[in-house]
A and B are shown apart, each in its own frame.
Chain A
């Protein structure tokens, strides 16, 4: 419990909510609990109570704010376009400033993301420890982390491929597939590697806004003096980098954000450059990562890029409801992340698909942990092209 706190929220953004409740069914935490406090409408009401009426941040209020997955499904559902994502990020930033959020502890954990070599070394240790069953299962580590993977070669100067932090350590094979697909389309690829250690998305979500801004500035510096497109195969990172312009509010940052594309979005605009090959004989359901569907809003391009390469594309029947991964959410709120995932798994089950395609590493890990066969859309395209060449 605390005294009155100014959350520093934009009053106009807060007032944009008319409390109609149309967001409720699109909120994963409301869906699995039925609790108003765990809905976007409830969270906004509590933000108003704290900011405008001096209500204390009690345990319950903190629970309401901290259990938001930040999927932003409520934003697509909101007819009045309330910028909920920015409201909850600012709320968390204010709680960090007041020292009443667990995010302060997360700062230490997230620090590691800025040191790619350390991260890869740590990953190798974790991987070996995990295989020796030394890591408790509830930590939710992927079953098989890579010990060592070959670096992504630089093949030209047409586009950057953003490699990032955890994904580069844990799922470099996805980057490799993406790079091969880009090459097949005739684009020379420069991996960003040490130029941009981390985009800072997880920091921003946790309310660690100073760290997020610092990392954004670092990324912009790392890729400055250049106007090549920056392609991203992680929906969360892409969404965050497309937001640098708004967050830093500088011309340089805006120009940087203009250069950022999801890799599927980029390929969908260059379909004619991809080789025509026989599609893989697979029924594939697309699991839209929230930050592709609700934030970048380019999820249709995944379908456009992928459809020539697989025999059947299936839509899940859950209106793009979150899978419960939410970056750090699956580690911080494992029980709720699990309940949300159960809904997604039921939808996947009904679809009857052989493989689920997800363009975000977090979703893939979270769903793979429940035994779902996951692939990145780039891995599927890569495989179809390779099969044709074999």
Chain B
């Protein structure tokens, strides 16, 4: 099989050394797969087709991968599959301003796309915190969100059409750049399918116009409850900010150590709120947000005075997870969504759960849409710590579900939240999801063992049988 793959691509673009196979065993999460099979770096749709056909011929599974910044183990190899790294397919193929659409390859980096559009006055709206490194293909797979998705919607709202290589090796185009697709919205099914339906090889994204005016507010509070209440009250007042992000004291200090953006270090919580739109409107909205904050005992109110200051504040927010090693070498990041009105209560239970398990918990989250990212800090070298983290994590997930929350806001299910799928969905729901998946990939050859829990996932039977080291080649 290695020989076939190398013939189809090239020797350099099919790697099978122990070093590479180790590197591709994990993503940015705590989950480790086994050693991967061969790692392929295709450069065209035709090469992805070849890989799929070779995989079928040799009855092997395939795992697509972007920049490896996923947080749920969605791209880790289970059962030594062929890893298809899309990072070399990173060309912006066509920008059509008149029709507000761009065709890109999946390996294009999110921020590179927005930067290349900035001269033209446009952007790609989904802005995950990892946008400087994550790929559009990965955004599609996870239906990624980001701070500014509060106003503009997540990736699904910004993807018009997708060229997909199915597990058979056939190519189909889902959706249409000319508005609504005819028939069922299979594009919609593909976005967020975490690589389990096929591999995207071209993506048509919607271009968004840059706003004429932006106001960024940095508000601080003496209690997390006041910050959470402000967020809830702002939305209840009918204001739709572009973004509302909250960080607690501990993470704010770690971030401030790195960026020095002027985040207050002594507040229990800071709220970064941004409004965009026409000059007059943003002025009024930002004033109203300030009033709401004041009525919730805001400790300090600051407006970003320059684009440079604004950029620095956002750089801080968007690098928050990476700053954690200043405090502990490992972290486990959750991603659940709760109704905004329940934010304050749930946050209190999260801190309480952390304390009970003797773990440090930090919170940094997309407050505007109730998307929590509790972070449990630990040191993986200390025996038993990760087990405590998992136990606390399970309690946190259940606490969120109990108030009507959902399992994932934007990171996906991957392998991380598989065990909780049965708590969110009925057995019938899961069976139907599995049928949808099988209609794309009857043998469950693409990214097996992810998303759907065992018992509702075909796969897992044959694709995951473990392959001893050295079988390839």
- Please determine whether B329 and A58 come into contact, CB atoms closer than 8 angstroms: no
- Please determine whether A81 and B326 come into contact, CB atoms closer than 8 angstroms: yes
Residue B301 interfacial (CB < 8 Å): no
Residue of A nearest to B90 (CB): A34
In the complex the two chains form, what is the Cα distance from A17 to B328 in whole Å? 10
Query: Of B23-31, B186-194, B210-218, which binds chain A?
Result: B23-31
Q: Which of B19, B26, B85, B258 has its CB near the most chain A CB atoms (within 10 A)?
A: B19
- Please determine whether A18 and B322 come into contact, CB atoms closer than 8 angstroms: yes
Residue B18 interfacial (CB < 8 Å): yes
- Please determine whether B68 and A34 come into contact, CB atoms closer than 8 angstroms: no
Task: Tell me if A's interface is mostly helix, strand, loop or mixed.
Answer: loop
In the complex the two chains form, what is the Cα distance from A55 to B87 in whole Å? 26
A24-B133, A34-B88, A80-B323 given; A18·B17 CB < 8 A: no
Residue B130 interfacial (CB < 8 Å): yes
CB distance from B114 to the nearest CB of A (A): 13
Q: B residues within 8 A CB of A59? A: 17
- Please determine whether A18 and B325 come into contact, CB atoms closer than 8 angstroms: yes
In the complex the two chains form, what is the Cα distance from A346 to B403 in whole Å? 53
Q: Which of A20, A24, A46, A59 has its CB near the most chain B CB atoms (within 10 A)?
A: A20
In the complex the two chains form, what is the Cα distance from A358 to B115 in whole Å? 24
- Please determine whether A80 and B325 come into contact, CB atoms closer than 8 angstroms: yes
A16-B329, A79-B255 given; A22·B85 CB < 8 A: no
Residue B82 interfacial (CB < 8 Å): no
Q: B residues within 8 A CB of A81? A: 258, 326
Residue in A24, A25, A58 whose CB lies within 8 Å of B17: A58
- Please determine whether A55 and B18 come into contact, CB atoms closer than 8 angstroms: yes
Q: A residues within 8 A CB of B130? A: 20-22
CB distance from B414 to the nearest CB of A (A): 15
A36-B24, A36-B68, A60-B19 given; A18·B329 CB < 8 A: yes
Residue in B20, B85, B115, B254 whose CB lies within 8 Å of A60: B20
Residue B124 interfacial (CB < 8 Å): no
Residue in A17, A18, A25 whose CB lies within 8 Å of B132: A25
CB within 8 Å of A: which B85-102 residues? 85, 87-88, 90
Q: A residues within 8 A CB of B87? A: 34-35
A25-B133, A37-B23, A46-B19 given; A20·B109 CB < 8 A: no
In the complex the two chains form, what is the Cα distance from A35 to B18 in whole Å? 14
Residue A247 interfacial (CB < 8 Å): no
CB within 8 Å of B: which A7-33 residues? 15-22, 24-25, 33
Query: How many residues on chain B are close to A (CB under 8 Å)?
Result: 41
CB distance from A58 to the nearest CB of B (A): 6
In the complex the two chains form, what is the Cα distance from A267 to B112 in whole Å? 35
Q: A residues within 8 A CB of B17? A: 58-60
Q: B residues within 8 A CB of A78? A: 322
Residue A45 interfacial (CB < 8 Å): yes
- Please determine whether B23 and A58 come into contact, CB atoms closer than 8 angstroms: no
In the complex the two chains form, what is the Cα distance from A90 to B322 in whole Å? 24
Q: B residues within 8 A CB of A15? A: 325, 329, 381
- Please determine whether A46 and B41 come into contact, CB atoms closer than 8 angstroms: no
Interface digits, A34-49 against B, CB 8 Å rule (1 contact, 0 not)? 1111000110011001
- Please determine whether A18 and B23 come into contact, CB atoms closer than 8 angstroms: no
Residue B321 interfacial (CB < 8 Å): yes
Residue in A34, A37, A58, A82 whose CB lies within 8 Å of B107: A34
In the complex the two chains form, what is the Cα distance from A83 to B107 in whole Å? 28
Residue of A nearest to B118 (CB): A317
Residue A61 interfacial (CB < 8 Å): yes
Residue B330 interfacial (CB < 8 Å): yes
In the complex the two chains form, what is the Cα distance from A42 to B19 in whole Å? 9
Residue A64 interfacial (CB < 8 Å): yes
A45-B23, A60-B19 given; A22·B322 CB < 8 A: yes
- Please determine whether B133 and A60 come into contact, CB atoms closer than 8 angstroms: no
- Please determine whether A42 and B109 come into contact, CB atoms closer than 8 angstroms: no
CB distance from B259 to the nearest CB of A (A): 8
- Please determine whether B321 and A55 come into contact, CB atoms closer than 8 angstroms: no
- Please determine whether A79 and B323 come into contact, CB atoms closer than 8 angstroms: yes
CB distance from B473 to the nearest CB of A (A): 15
In the complex the two chains form, what is the Cα distance from A258 to B323 in whole Å? 29
CB distance from A369 to the nearest CB of B (A): 25
In the complex the two chains form, what is the Cα distance from A82 to B329 in whole Å? 11
Residue B457 interfacial (CB < 8 Å): no
CB distance from B435 to the nearest CB of A (A): 35
CB distance from B341 to the nearest CB of A (A): 32
A25-B109, A34-B41, A78-B322 given; A19·B19 CB < 8 A: no
Residue in A19, A35, A49 whose CB lies within 8 Å of B22: A49
Residue B293 interfacial (CB < 8 Å): no
Residue of A nearest to B380 (CB): A15
Interface digits, B307-337 against A, CB 8 Å rule (1 contact, 0 not)? 0000000000001111111100111000000
Interface digits, A309-323 against B, CB 8 Å rule (1 contact, 0 not)? 000000001000000
Residue B69 interfacial (CB < 8 Å): yes
Q: Which of A17, A36, A61, A79 has its CB near the most chain B CB atoms (within 10 A)?
A: A79
In the complex the two chains form, what is the Cα distance from A41 to B322 in whole Å? 12
Q: B residues within 8 A CB of A317? A: 115
- Please determine whether B23 and A19 come into contact, CB atoms closer than 8 angstroms: no
Residue in A19, A33, A35, A82 whose CB lies within 8 Å of B28: A19
Q: Which of A33, A34, A78 has its CB near the most chain B CB atoms (within 10 A)?
A: A34
Residue of B nearest to A36 (CB): B23
Q: A residues within 8 A CB of B22? A: 45-46, 49, 55
CB distance from A381 to the nearest CB of B (A): 26
CB distance from B64 to the nearest CB of A (A): 14
In the complex the two chains form, what is the Cα distance from A260 to B299 in whole Å? 44
Residue B458 interfacial (CB < 8 Å): no
Interface digits, B58-92 against A, CB 8 Å rule (1 contact, 0 not)? 00000000011100000000000000010110100
Q: B residues within 8 A CB of A22? A: 130, 132-133, 319, 322
- Please determine whether A20 and B326 come into contact, CB atoms closer than 8 angstroms: no
In the complex the two chains form, what is the Cα distance from A42 to B23 in whole Å? 6
CB within 8 Å of A: which B18-57 residues? 18-20, 22-24, 26, 28, 41
In the complex the two chains form, what is the Cα distance from A17 to B322 in whole Å? 8
In the complex the two chains form, what is the Cα distance from A19 to B32 in whole Å? 12
Q: B residues within 8 A CB of A49? A: 19, 22
Q: B residues within 8 A CB of A79? A: 254-255, 258, 319-323, 326
CB within 8 Å of A: which B131-166 residues? 132-133
CB within 8 Å of A: which B115-130 residues? 115, 130
- Please determine whether A18 and B133 come into contact, CB atoms closer than 8 angstroms: no
- Please determine whether A58 and B69 come into contact, CB atoms closer than 8 angstroms: no
In the complex the two chains form, what is the Cα distance from A21 to B321 in whole Å? 11
In the complex the two chains form, what is the Cα distance from A56 to B18 in whole Å? 9
A35-B41, A79-B320 given; A21·B67 CB < 8 A: yes
**Other A-B pairs, 16, CB within 8 Å; known A25-B109, A80-B325:** A15-B325, A18-B321, A19-B28, A20-B28, A21-B28, A22-B130, A22-B133, A22-B322, A35-B41, A36-B85, A58-B17, A58-B18, A60-B17, A79-B319, A79-B323, A80-B326
Can you list 17 residue pairs at the A/B interface with Cβ under 8 Å? Answer: A19-B26, A20-B28, A20-B69, A20-B321, A21-B130, A25-B109, A25-B111, A34-B85, A37-B15, A42-B23, A55-B22, A58-B19, A78-B322, A79-B321, A79-B322, A80-B323, A80-B324
| A interface list, Cβ under 8 A from B | 15-22, 24-25, 33-37, 41-42, 45-46, 49, 55-56, 58-61, 64, 78-82, 317
| B interface list, Cβ under 8 A from A | 15, 17-20, 22-24, 26, 28, 41, 67-69, 85, 87-88, 90, 107, 109, 111-112, 115, 130, 132-133, 254-255, 258, 319-326, 329-331, 381
7 smallest CB-CB distances across A and B, nearest first, come from: A34-B87, A80-B325, A79-B322, A79-B323, A60-B17, A60-B19, A79-B319
